[in-house]
Amino acid sequence: MTQKQPLFIQALLPLIALAVAAFFSLFYWNAGMLMPLMISLIVTSVLGVLLGHKWSDLESYMGKGIQRALPAVYILIIVGIIIGSWISSGVIPTLIYYGLDLIHPSIFIPSVALATGVLSMALGSSFASIGTVGLAFIAVGDSMGFPLALVAGAIISGAYLGDKFSPLSETTNVAASMAGVDLFSHIRHMLWDTIPAFLLSVLIYWIVGLNYAGEVKSIEEIRTINTHLADTFVIHPLLLLVPLLTVVALIKKYPTLPSLVLISLIGAILAYIVQGASVSDIIGAMTNGFSGDTGLESLNNLLHRGGITSMMGTIGLVLVATALGGMLEDIGVLKTITETFINRVKSTGSLIGSTVLSALVVGFATGAQILAVILPIRTFKQAFEDRNLAAKNLSRCVEAAGAVGINMVPWSVPAFFAAGVLGVSPYDYIPYAFFIFLVPLINVIYGYTGLSITKKDDTKEGVKHAG
């Protein structure tokens, strides 16, 4: 049977099924995103068969999609182990103890975004930033009494500053390479959207943080938390060398998984030597999460987390979402949708807007960050050339939407990862991740105003306006 390209209305069916099922599952059934993704996967499978694809081919498409997510799955497993071992070893309690002492509530939220952003720039990895300082900040913020959704939103904003802007970032390199742009020319062009978006985000976090600063826990409550921490764990500044060692290993670009495994083992050794934990307690914490008693219920709730099993639900969502994404790509659904956007382009503004929207739709459909970068560049590259627009305009707006904006999609791999590590639902923190909204929006504004849109024949670093 000949394989056919889906019509636009056919291509919309899996996305409509996903959106409708998600609406009922989240707001009426309170059943999460796994079943909506499964329903969309079933609809996509039926559509694939009707378009002439064999079932064995569809299985292969799903396998290809899942394969892209395996690095994230492995990291999720290791991060679960790290959380358990770092709590047992006293690393996270020490971070909380000194964080409560040193960081003033009035500047806590903007400090979260700035510190996470600086680390993410150095690491070139949002996942590594979220899994290290992000975890510490969520613990400190919870202890202070800040809304976890707000703290998580600030962490995400900072983490994706580096994912978008660091020369070490995979998505930054892929976007530049796919568009045929010099890496540092691409990065310089992103100054136009990244800097204003991040500075505006930090300003908003400062204003919002001030509103909550007066409502956080009193000095007496914070002292109570620190007293219980000191009674339960050995608190010592040298324990802070463990997260510092993690950052150094990642900055030096040692292989991520072996580095994280080593860090988790160091945590386990410290739990045994420094905290006097038994081997069974340490293995239990790394498998099922920390379960010790601090004598303070709110502190127990904060520290009872981590372990491999805590990540299994998130991993299941990642696998189903990426299987769906692989099938949507290979039966031609994404190609049909993105090509439809091109046909509606009438101006430079509509071209930029369509490119941004296309990347967001790919992210909505697949949950895969790398696909949301690659597919729109493939689709729109010729359209940018036809309008005599420099390819760095394309790479910039695709990275804005595909690498950063994809975090607006609650079932995307980045959102699932952050939720698994931070323990905050994407539906709660997404409204507070201001950076992920501002970057795509600024690109659309630039598209319609012509500001910072360069022509192909503009060989200098100056900027021409494009109508």
Residues 46 and 182 in one domain: no
Q: What per-residue confidence (pLDDT) applies to 458? A: 60
Q: Please check whether residue 357 lies inside any domain of the structure.
A: no
Q: What per-residue confidence (pLDDT) applies to 467? A: 43
Please report where in the chains the tokens 């503009």 appear, as a residue.
Answer: 458
Q: What per-residue confidence (pLDDT) applies to 1? A: 65
Q: Please check whether residue 347 lies inside any domain of the structure.
A: no
Q: What's the token pair of residue 452?
A: 């910072």
Q: What integer best gives the mean pLDDT of the chain?
A: 90
Residues 274 and 308 in one domain: yes
Q: Which of 266, 287, 312 is the last residue of a domain?
A: 312
Q: Please check whether residue 100 lies inside any domain of the structure.
A: yes
Question: For the segment 388-404, what is each residue's pLDDT rounded down to a tens digit?
Answer: 999 999 999 999 999 99
Residues 187 and 127 in one domain: yes
Residues 41 and 75 in one domain: no
Q: Please check whether residue 412 lies inside any domain of the structure.
A: no
Residues 23 and 118 in one domain: no
Check whether 250 has a pLDDT greater than 80: no
Q: Please check whether residue 360 lies inside any domain of the structure.
A: no
Residues 119 and 260 in one domain: yes
Check whether 286 has a pLDDT greater than 90: yes
Q: Please check whether residue 273 lies inside any domain of the structure.
A: yes
**Residue 455, phi then psi, degrees to nearest 5:** -85, 160
Q: Which of 292, 312, 332 is the last residue of a domain?
A: 312
Q: What is the mean pLDDT of residues 406-429?
A: 92
Residues 263 and 133 in one domain: yes
Contact between 235 and 241 under an 8 Å Cβ cutoff? The reply is no
Q: Please check whether residue 391 lies inside any domain of the structure.
A: no
Q: Which of 283, 312, 341 is the last residue of a domain?
A: 312
Residues 114 and 26 in one domain: no
Domain membership of residue 30 as a residue range:
8-52
Contact between 378 and 333 under an 8 Å Cβ cutoff? The reply is no
Among 418, 409, 428, 398, which residue's Cα sits nearest to residue 40? 409
Q: What per-residue confidence (pLDDT) applies to 336? A: 92
Exposure string of 296-335, with b = 16+ CB inside 10 Å and e = fewer, is bebbbebbbbbbbebbeebbebbbbbbbbbbbbbbbbbbb
Q: What is the mean pLDDT of residues 136-141?
A: 89
Among 467, 429, 405, which residue's Cα sits nearest to residue 194? 405
Residues 230 and 129 in one domain: yes
Q: What per-residue confidence (pLDDT) applies to 31? A: 86
- Domain total in the chain: 2
Q: What's the token pair of residue 329?
A: 């790509």
Q: What is the mean pLDDT of residues 427-451?
A: 96
Q: What per-residue confidence (pLDDT) applies to 450? A: 93
Residues 186 and 159 in one domain: yes
Residues 46 and 172 in one domain: no
Task: Calculate the dihedral angle through the C-alpha atoms of 165, 170, 173, 179, rounding to the nearest 10 degrees.
Answer: -100
Q: What per-residue confidence (pLDDT) applies to 404? A: 95
What's the rounded Cα separation, in Å, for the pair 110 and 107?
6
Q: Please check whether residue 109 lies inside any domain of the structure.
A: yes
Residues 39 and 73 in one domain: no
Q: What's the token pair of residue 375?
A: 């597919």
